[in-house]
Amino acid sequence: MTSKREQLPPGFRNMALLAVHNLLWEKMPHLYAVMATNKEDFVSLTLKAREDGVLAVVNRVSFDGAREVCFGTGYDAISALVAVDKTIQAGSWRPDKPWKAQGGKEE
C-alpha cells in the first residue's frame, strides 16, 4: 500500500510545498483558480515592492485572446495576494496596456 505522500505528484512530495499549495487553495481560491484550474489562460503573477507597500499583478489571456490584468496592493506580499484574490473575485479585469514610466517612455 502506498502512502498519501507517494500518491502526490513529484513536485508536491515536499510537505512544505504542499502546505503552501493548500494554503493558497483554501485562503485565496480565486487566485488559485486563475493560476491552477485555468492555467492555460494564466500568464504571470508579479509582486513589486514599492515605497508604500507591495503591488500584486496577475496577467491572463481572456476568452477572446486579449491580455488582461488584475491588481492588488498591500503592506506586504501576503496582503497584496489577498487583495488581488478579492479583485479577481469581483471580476475587475482590465485590458493590459503598455506601461509608461514617469518619463513617458513605454516599457
Per-residue model confidence (pLDDT) at position 80: 96
Residue with cell 500518491: 7
- N-term to C-term CA, the chain: 55
**Domain extent listing, the chain:** 10-95
- Do 12 and 21 contact (CB within 8 A), yes or no? yes
Q: What is the pLDDT along the chain (107 residues), one digit of tens a residue?
A: 455 555 566 666 677 777 777 888 889 999 988 988 888 899 999 999 999 999 999 999 988 999 999 999 999 999 999 999 999 999 999 999 877 666 655 55
> Global pTM?
0.75
Cell of 38: 485555468
Is the domain defined by 10-95 classed in CATH 3.30.750?
no
